[in-house]
Amino acid sequence: MKLNNLLTRLLSGAAYVALMLGSLYLCPQAFACVMALAMVVSMHEFYGIAAKIGVKPQRIAGLLCGIAVFAACYAGSFGLAGTSYNHIFFYLPIPLAVFMFFAELFRKKSLPFTNIAYTLLGVIYVALPFSLTSFVYKVAGVNAVCSFFVLLWANDTFAYLFGIAFGKHKMFPSISPKKSWEGYIGGILSVVAAAWALHYLFGDMELIHTVAFGVIISATAVLADLVESMLKRSANVKDSGAIMPGHGGLLDRFDAALLSLPLVFAYMQMFM
């Protein structure tokens, strides 16, 4: 049974990586479609976890607002259909967000502002990071986006391996009993080395920027994973979903990216 589970996990993971990188190098539109689908599923999973906590988020309004943010970022970044940064896409999320407050008057649910807060959190925590991939693509190019995800996956792998080999001091055992500070530090060192190698493989960005990507990703990825674990533990659920056999939900797969991407975006805006 364990061998079958491992094989399922490997096949599911391989399909995920192939879809991500295949769409990325096919064309911007294909990658945008994959990211949009992953965003919608991840937001649905997030709202599902919120519902298990006892919150009643406005799923449809939240999803529409998230899609509007995503469309605005991608349309503006790639100039699709003649759009620019003063296009309607960039204003549409505002009335959608305001509508959530008015809609709660008619829903007559308990904890109305908690419902609004979780609905908006789904947009900020999930939709916005997915949307920011467009700016990384535009500013640094396709190889930079590839490097971002490769470094995320490398951090997950090496932090796990270092944790198994040397892990003695647990980071936050009440949230995730397996993650250790040794694994965290080992992941950082390994990802910085991987970033150095990717610079010589692609050569699109200056070495300092590639290494900075590695530092930001490795320093935040494990913590971002723990944040999602904290959310799941509060709802007493193991996985965000079951769309990826052996891995859980898409929110589980993208959890590290959700808090790493905004920091990478901020770095790019300030220094690139």
* Residue ranges of domains in the chain: 2-271
* Separation between Cα atoms, residue 60 and residue 115, nearest integer Å: 13
Neighbours of 257 (CB within 10 A): 23
Q: Look at the chain and count its residues.
A: 272
Is the C-alpha dihedral spanning 218, 162, 222, 157 positive or negative? positive
Phi, psi at residue 171, to the nearest 5°?
-75, -65
Q: Counting Cβ atoms within 10 Å, is residue 108 exposed (0-12), middle (13-18) or buried (19+)?
A: exposed
pLDDT in tens, the chain (272 residues): 455 666 777 787 888 889 999 999 998 889 999 999 999 999 999 999 999 999 999 999 999 999 999 988 888 777 655 555 556 667 888 999 999 999 999 998 989 999 999 999 999 999 999 999 998 998 889 999 999 999 999 999 999 999 999 989 999 999 988 899 999 999 999 999 999 999 999 888 899 999 999 999 999 999 999 999 999 999 999 889 888 876 789 999 999 999 999 999 999 989 98
Range 205-229 burial, b when 16+ CB lie within 10 A, else e:
beeebbbbbbebbbbbbbebbbbbb
What is the structure's pLDDT at 88?
A: 66
What is the structure's pLDDT at 98?
A: 95
* Model pTM score: 0.91
Q: Counting Cβ atoms within 10 Å, is residue 51 exposed (0-12), middle (13-18) or buried (19+)?
A: middle
What is the structure's pLDDT at 1?
A: 43
Range 143-178 burial, b when 16+ CB lie within 10 A, else e:
bbbbbbbbbbbbbbebbbebbeeebeebbeeebbee
Neighbours of 271 (CB within 10 A): 10
